[in-house]
Each structure stands twice: as structure tokens, then as C-alpha cells.
Amino acid sequence: MNWDVKYFPGYWAGRRLAYPDVPKKHPKFAQSIVVGNLIFVSGCTGQDVITGSPAPESVEDQVRVALENARLAMETAGSSMENIVKTFFLVRSLDDYPQIRKTETEYYLEHAPYLVETPPAATLMVVPSLARPEFLVEYEIIGVVDRNAPEWGVKYYPEYWGGRELAYPHVPIEHAKFARTQVVGDLVILSGCQALDHDSVRVETMDFGEQTRIVLEKLRIGMEETGGSMSSLLKTTVFLKDPNHVQQYREVERAYFQQHAPDLANNPPASTVVIVSELPRPEFLIEVEAFGVVDKQAPNWVRKHYPGNEAVASGVSAGNLLFLSGCDGSNPETNEVETDSVEQQIILALDKVKAGLEGGGSSMDKVVKTLMMLRYLEDYPKMRKTELEYYEKHAPRLVSDPPVSTFVQLPHITSPKALFQIDVTAVL
């Protein structure tokens, strides 16, 4: 099975986004990285990467620019917009949601008609800020080079609300539209699941524990529909509005795993908690997206769990992919955040990433994707400078060929004193 890795550099107004072509404090990331048949694309904002001209003022225009940047990335990687299988929309205001979905569908109608009736798996979250104050949206995607590549074929599983398929024209143009799951080869990509009753199209409970159980049940159903099982989960990303719900989520998750997927009680998926401002509906308290495999014993996709501790990020691999749990800047000896220095917190977090990658048979040089999270936007230049200097010491290949990356400012990170968190995907 082909797991070759190909790197496509990012450019901003003609400058390659790698050091020393840009300053240490400047954003540095690849346009895309291809792993086998998968294409990982960096977060695309509403600023034109060709001209570098200022981002438009309207959210509709920024969505169009972001989608155009994504289309360029897909085509540069030898694919097309129609081969997107997953989207992750970061937006500044929930009020913009209908315009965003409407503009997205209109763009697909013109440039990727296949995605209109068979939309990608999708997750959307609302955050205080993106890399620049004027950015209103960021659009991260995963695609494929070829939907029919040997051993890498793509299969679409539709989602339904109130008996209507979540695709245009079955639902209004401004309505949510996404797949329940997309399968690429053996890799299962699940859309963000919320506690919405799919028959009534309402949230029937405001109890957090009950919403969590509903979400986990949807993950189980999604995995089983593909021929897999809950025990084949590789990675979950958990979006919460209230940081006080983190511990309760883990307790409910553990009990659910013990009942429905006992293997996961001792070998859980890699997992990252992200605290957001809002989810797509005000009544949603939680959303969880996930990756899994159809058959965790398939020769090219065997699921392996790498336990972590306070100093080592836990991870799960399948095929040539390694997913790590999110890492913050807490002291591994006390598990408490003990420094107010964002640079020191970043170094501590990256140390955990490095140890987790090495424990999973990989290395820092093999990182292909990062989600970078900060509490304060003014720390962004420090974050990029510290990240680069860490790579200079521990992953020199990433200096010239940085990973694809998405950035977001969050209202809260893991604990009240935490300033930084990173989520990493690598290859073996």
C-alpha cells in the first residue's frame, strides 16, 4: 500500500512560508502534505495568498477567498476541490452561520458540484479570534488525490435530520450540510456529533451527562454503519463550551467505553479537548469528531495504542498515521501549570509531543499536521518563534519543510493558567 509523503510548500504574496524566507515570528506552514492518498491542507483564511491583499470585510467574501485558497491547494497537490472529504470551519460569530453555509454551497455549485449532493464530513466551531483580528473564518480540509485509488477508495455515508438528507437541495441552502462519515481506504472520518435528536431535530435535554451519552452513541452508530466498531476509534476531538465539564466528560466517556467498547477502557483513543466560545446551536453543550478504522486488524491499518503519562503524549496509530492527544505546558512532575511564560509552556508541550512521537515509533521530523491553540492572540509571534527554535534543535527538517498548520485563539485552555495547547498528527 502506498504511504509516500509529498510536501507542497506554502506561499504568501510570493514568499515561501518557511525560515529564513520569513522571520522567526512569522507564520510558517506547508500549503499541503500528501500521505499516501490523503491530502492534509493548512487552515485557509479569508486573505488572498497570491496577492496578500487585505481580507474583505464581509464574511461571505472571506468564505469565498478561503475556499479559493483551498481549491488552489487541492489542485497544487494534483487533485481537485471535488475530492475534499472533511472540512473544519472556524468562525468568529455564530450569527454568520447561515451566510457561511449558503456561500459554501454556492461555491461548490460552481467549482465542485460533486460536493453539493455528497458533502464532506464536517465540524464547525466558534472562537474568539483567528491569527489576525480581521480574519472572520478559517477553513481547514482533508482531501484525497484520487477517489478510486487502489486500496484507498472513498465511500460516503449520508447524514439525515428529520428524514431529510443533509445535502442540497434536500435542505435549504443556508442549512447545515455534511456527511455522517467518509471512509478513505480503511480510515473512517466522522463529522462532529452533537446531542440533536435526528427525528425531532431538537435537543431534548440540557443535562451535560445526557448530551455526552447521546454524542457517544452517535459515534458508535457511525462507526458500526461503516462496518467498524467503537473499539476501532483512533482519535477524538472534544469541543466543550464550559471548561468545568472536562472531568465529567471523561467520567461519562469511561463508563460508556466500559459498557460498549471494553477494549477502549484500557486502550482509549488519542484525544484532545478544545474549549470553544460557541457550537453551531446555542443549546449544544458538547460536540465530538473522530477518526477510526473499519477493521483495526487489517494488514495495512492495524490499530496500536501507545500509553502516555504526564511527560509523554499518549497516541494511537493505524497504517502509517500516528495521532497524539493534545499537549499543554503543564509541569510533567506535578501536572500543574507553574509558569506564566508562554515560551516555557510551549517548550514543555513540545517536549511531551516529542516523547509521544518517539514512543510511537516516529519522531518530531515526521509531524505532518498541527493545530496550535493560544489563550491570548498577542502571544502569536512568540509562539511561532519558539516553535521554530524548537524545530532547529529537535526537528531540523521542519525548519525548511514545516507541517500543515491551523491556528486558533481559545477562551480557555485545559486549566486557568494554561496559555498554549498543541494537537499533532504524524507519520511513522
Same domain assignment for residues 249 and 287: yes
User: Nearest-CA neighbor of 72 among 51, 91, 89, 50?
Assistant: 50
pTM of the shown model: 0.97
Query: Would you state the pLDDT for residue 375?
Result: 97
Confidence of residue 75 (pLDDT cuts 50, 70, 90): very high
Same domain assignment for residues 134 and 248: no
Query: Would you state the pLDDT for residue 261?
Result: 96
Residue 375 lies in a domain: no
Residue 402 lies in a domain: no
CB distance 69 to 49 below 8 Å: yes
Residue 201 lies in a domain: yes
End-to-end CA distance of the chain: 14
pLDDT tens-digit series, residues 266-321: 999 999 999 999 999 999 999 999 999 999 999 999 999 999 999 999 999 999 99
H or E element: which one contains 426?
strand 420-427
Residue 11 lies in a domain: no
H or E element: which one contains 380?
helix 380-394
Residue 162 lies in a domain: yes
The DSSP call for residue 415 is B
Same domain assignment for residues 149 and 259: no
φ, ψ dihedrals at 306, nearest 5°: -120, 100
Same domain assignment for residues 42 and 164: yes
User: Could you say which of 278, 302, 326 is where a domain stops?
Assistant: 302
Burial of 57 (0-12, 13-18, 19+ CB in 10 A): exposed
Confidence of residue 407 (pLDDT cuts 50, 70, 90): very high
Residue 79 lies in a domain: yes
Q: Structural domain tally of the chain?
A: 2
Residue 414 lies in a domain: no
Same domain assignment for residues 51 and 163: yes
Same domain assignment for residues 190 and 296: yes
Same domain assignment for residues 250 and 297: yes
Same domain assignment for residues 44 and 164: yes
Query: Would you state the pLDDT for residue 98?
Result: 96
Residue 359 lies in a domain: no
User: Could you say which of 269, 302, 335 is where a domain stops?
Assistant: 302
Domain of 276 in residue numbering reads as 186-302
Give me the CATH number covering residue 265: 3.30.1330.40
Query: Would you state the pLDDT for residue 107?
Result: 98
Interacting residues of 39 by C-beta distance below 8 A, sequence separation 6+: 32, 33, 73, 74, 77, 79, 83, 141, 142, 143, 144, 145
Same domain assignment for residues 42 and 79: yes
pLDDT tens-digit series, residues 120-154: 999 999 999 999 999 999 999 999 999 999 999 99
Same domain assignment for residues 138 and 190: no
Confidence of residue 68 (pLDDT cuts 50, 70, 90): very high
Q: How much is the average pLDDT of 341-369? A: 98
Query: Would you state the pLDDT for residue 186?
Result: 97
pLDDT tens-digit series, residues 258-281: 999 999 999 999 999 999 999 999
Query: Distance between CA 282 and CA 241 in Å, rounded?
Result: 10
Provide the CA 414 distance to its chain's centre, in angstroms: 17
The DSSP call for residue 232 is G
Same domain assignment for residues 151 and 63: yes
Averaged pLDDT score across all residues of the chain: 97
pLDDT tens-digit series, residues 8-62: 999 999 999 999 999 999 999 999 999 999 999 999 999 999 999 999 999 999 9
Say if strands 202-203 and 196-197 run parallel, antiparallel, or are unpaired.
antiparallel
Interacting residues of 207 by C-beta distance below 8 A, sequence separation 6+: none
Query: Would you state the pLDDT for residue 314?
Result: 97
Same domain assignment for residues 85 and 124: yes
Q: How much is the average pLDDT of 340-359? A: 98
User: Could you say which of 131, 146, 170 is where a domain stops?
Assistant: 170
Query: Distance between CA 156 and CA 173 in Å, rounded?
Result: 20
